[in-house]
Amino acid sequence: MPISALDNMVSVGLFDENKLKEIEVIASEFNYSYIKTALNFGFLTRKKYVAFLEQEGFELIAVRDEEMDMQYIEQCELIELNSILYAPLRKMPDGTLLVAAADPQDEKLKTLLTIRFNMPVRFVAASDLDITWLVHIKRGEYYVKEAVFSLMRKDPEQSGLITFTDPQLIFIFGSIAILVILLFISFLKVAMVLNVVFSVAFFGTILFKLYLSLNGSKAEMKELVNKAEVKALQENTLPIYTILLPVYKEDKLIRKLIWNLRSLDYPRGKLDVKLLIEEDDDKTLNAVRNLDFPANFETIVVPFHMPKTKPKACNYGLHFCRGEYLAIYDAEDVPDSDQLKKCVVLFRKLPPEFVVLQGALNYFNKNENMLTRMFTLEYTYWFDYMLPGLMSLDIPIPLGGTSNHFKFDKLMELGGWDPFNVTEDADLGVRVFEKGFKVGIVNSTTLEEANNEPFNWIRQRSRWIKGYMQTTLVHMRNPARLIRRIGWRGFLGFNFFIAGTSITFLLYPILLLFLLTYAIVKLTFVASLFPDWVLYIATFNLVAGNTMMIYVNMLSVFKRRYYELILFGALNPLYWIMHSIAAYKGLWQLIYKPFYWEKTNHGLTKLSSSGTSANPLEPVQ
C-alpha cells in the first residue's frame, strides 16, 4: 500500500523503483524522510516533484507567510522537523491540526503526528526549502545561540569576543607611552633601535618563511597517500562524510556547485552535504529552488544572530551533521575527485592525534589577470611549501578556510569554530595544537576562484590579516600558558608565522619608504640620522627579504609546473604593497569593527573551472 509521495510516483511510473530502494537505505541511515532523501541526494528535481504534487491536487502554500501557533511547533525538535520536513502551523476551526509537509502523502508521519498532538492532522503541501527555512527560524534559536556562545562558555580564554584583554591594553598603551618618553629623551638612539628592530624582524620573518619553504619542499619526496591506496579502499567500509558549504548570496554558483559535488568520487549515500545559507539570503534559496536538475545537498537555514560570520554558520550546521568526518568547502571550490577518499586513507594511516587534514588550495583562473597570477603564486607557495614545512617542524598550522577535513567528534571536542574570529580557520588550527592534537597535510588540491578585482582582493585580504591579528591576540593572552601547551618551537613558530605575517605587512611600507628616501632619492637627512651600520642592516634586510620572497614564489610555480608564471614572481614587492594596504585596513577594522566580516564576492571570473585539473602534483621531470 503506497504510504508516501514517492510510492505514488513509482506507481504512476514517474519514479524508478530501484532508486526508491536506494533511497530507503540512505533514509534509514540518515534518519531522514524519503522525500528529503530524494530531493537532497540527487534522485529527484524539485520542479518534477512539485509538478507531481500539483497533479495529485496539492497546491504548494507559501508556508513562510502562514499564520502560526507556536505552541505546536515548540513540541517538536528541530532535528526531527528538519529531517522529516514538516511544520505544524495551527489548529483549524474544524479541530484538525494544520501541518505543512514536504510530502503531504506521508501516511506514516500523519499517524505519528496524530498520536503526538492527540488530534486529527491535515497536511498541506509546502516547498521543502520553505519548510526548512521556517523550522530553522522558529526553532533554531537554541542552536544558533550555541553556535555563537558555546566556545565562549566552555573556554572563554579561547574566544575572540573580547579583542583586547585588559593586560593586553595595558601592555600596548604602556609600550607606546614608554616609546614616546624614550623618543623625547633620545630621539636618535630610539629611532635607530626601532629601525634595526623593524628591519631585523622583517628579515627574520622572511628568512623563516624561506626555511619553511625549503623544509616544505622536502615533502614532495614522499607521497602521503598514493593512488593504489585510494583504489584499495572498499566502498562499503567508507564512513559518512559531511561537507559543509557556507554560502551567502552565491546564487550564481549553485549550478557549478552541484557539478563539482558530482565529480567527487565518494558513494552518494555516504555524502552528507549541507549548504548553509543565511536567513535573509533568499537569492541563494531561490537559486536552489529553481534548479532544473536534482540537487545533491541539503539546505540548512541559519537564523539571524550577530556576528554574521561564516564560523557561526558552520557551528550551526554542526548540529545537523551525520558524518564521521567533516570537510569544509566554498561554493566555487573544485576539489580533486579523490580528495575525500585520500583523507579517509590518511586519517586511518596517521596516528590518532591527527584530527584535521588540510588540502592544498590553488586557482583555476590563474591566468586571468595580473592579480590572479600573483594570487596563484602566493597560494602555491603557501599550501605546497609553507604548510608542509610547518607540519614537518611540528608548528601550529593555520588552516586555510576551505578543504579542511576534520574528525567530527574531535571537532566537537574542540568546540567548533570561534564565531568572533574572522579567520576562524587559522584560529582553529592553533587551538588544535593547544589541545594536544595535530594538523596533517593531504596531498590533494582544491581549485578555487582567484580574486580578480583589486578592491575585492583588498577586502578579502584585510579580513584575513585582521583575523591573523585577532588570532595572535587571543592566543597570546597568556604567553606562558601557550608555551606550556605547544612548546617553545610551536610558540616561536606561531609568532613568526601568524603574528609575523601581519607585522611584516605593516612594516613593509615603512621600510620601503626608508630605503627609497635613503638609497634611491638619497636624502642626506636620513643618512645623517643613522650610522652606517644601521643603514647597512636596513638595506640588506629589505633587499634580501624581498629577494627571498620572490624566490619562494618562484619555487612554488616550479613544483606546479606553472612555468609561465615564474617571471611574475618578480612583482612580489608590488603585490606586498597591496598586502600592506590591506593590513592597515585590517588593523583599523580590528580596533573599530573587530567582528565585521568583509564579504568576498565570488563568481567574478569569466573563466570556467571545467576541464581544469588541480594536478600536476607529481614531481617535475
Identify which of residues 524 and 621 has a Cβ nearer to other proteins in the complex: 621
Tally of helices (H runs) and strands (E runs) in the chain: 26, 11
23 counts as binding other proteins under rule CB under 8 A: no
- Residue 549 as a binder of other proteins (CB under 8 A): the answer is no
- Say whether 232 sits in a helix, a strand or coil: coil
Largest CA distance in the chain: 96
Judge contact between 266 and 243, C-beta under 8 A: no
Per CB under 8 A, does 221 bind other proteins? yes
Q: How far is CA 442 from the centre of its chain?
A: 16
Minimum CB separation from other proteins for residue 543, in Å?
5
Contact in structure between 346 and 357 (CB atoms under 8 Å): yes
Q: How far is the CB of 560 from other proteins (least distance, A)?
A: 10
Count of alpha carbons within 13 angstroms of residue 273, beta-carbon side = 26
CA distance 148 to 592: 20
Site string for other proteins, 352-371 (x = CB under 8 A): --------------------
Query: Minimum distance between the CB of residue 536 and other proteins, rounded to whole angstroms?
Result: 5
* Residue 49 · residue 103 · CB < 8 Å: no
Neighbours of 69 (CB within 10 A): 13
Cα four-point dihedral sign 289, 291, 296, 302: negative
Mark 196-215 with x for binding to other proteins (rule: CB under 8 A) and - for no binding.
Answer: -----------------xx-
619 makes contact with other proteins (CB under 8 A):
yes
Is residue 574 close enough to count as binding other proteins by CB under 8 A?
no
User: Does 521 engage in binding with other proteins (CB under 8 A)?
Assistant: no
Rounded CA separation 5/37 (Å)? 12
What are the backbone dihedrals phi and psi of residue 51, each rounded to the nearest 5 degrees, phi first? -60, -40
Cis before residue 619, ω within 30 degrees of 0?
Answer: no
Between 232 and 521, whose beta carbon lies closer to other proteins?
521
Using rule CB under 8 A, residue 559 touches other proteins = yes
Distance of CA 521 to CAs 158, 174, 188, 460, 537, Å? 47, 36, 21, 34, 18
Strand partners, 244: 274, 328
C-alpha angle 133-135-140 in degrees, rounded to nearest 5? 100
Residue 511 engages other proteins in binding (rule: CB under 8 A): no
Min dist. Cβ of residue 192 to other proteins (A):
14
Confirm or reject binding of residue 462 to other proteins (CB under 8 A): no
Q: Which of 112, 162, 519, 578 binds other proteins (CB under 8 A)?
A: 519
Q: Is 547 in the site for other proteins (CB under 8 A)?
A: yes
* Spatial distance between the Cα atoms of 36 and 27, rounded to a whole number of angstroms: 8
The footprint of other proteins on this chain (CB under 8 A) covers a number of residues equal to 32
Secondary element (H or E) of residue 250: none
Q: Which of residues 94-133 bind other proteins (CB under 8 A)?
A: none
Which residue from 66, 80, 220, 394 is in contact with other proteins, where contact means CB under 8 A?
Answer: 220
Contacts of 234 (CB under 8 A, 6+ apart): none
Among 409, 533, 593, 603, binds other proteins (CB under 8 A): 533
The distance of closest approach from Cβ of residue 547 to other proteins in the complex, given in angstroms and rounded to an integer, is 4
Out of 543, 571, 578, 587, the only residue in the binding site for other proteins (CB under 8 A) is 543
Q: For other proteins, which residue of 503, 511, 554, 583 counts as binding (CB under 8 A)?
A: 554
Minimum CB separation of residue 191 from other proteins in Å reads: 19
Residue whose entry in the numeric block shows the C-alpha cell 509546502: 126
Q: Which stretch binds other proteins (CB under 8 A): 216-224, 266-274, 311-319, 490-498?
A: 216-224
Of 142-150, 394-402, 452-460, 548-556, the window that binds other proteins (rule: CB under 8 A) is 548-556
Q: Is residue 142 part of the contact set for other proteins (CB under 8 A)?
A: no
Q: Which helix (H) or strand (E) holds 358?
A: strand 354-363
* 563: contact with other proteins by CB under 8 A: yes
Smaller CB separation from other proteins, 354 or 562: 562
User: If you compute the radius of gyration of the chain from its CA atoms, what whole number of angstroms results?
Assistant: 27
The contact set with other proteins (CB under 8 A) reads: 213-214, 217-218, 220-221, 519, 532-533, 535-536, 539-540, 543-544, 547-548, 550-551, 554-555, 557-559, 563-564, 566-567, 569, 619-621
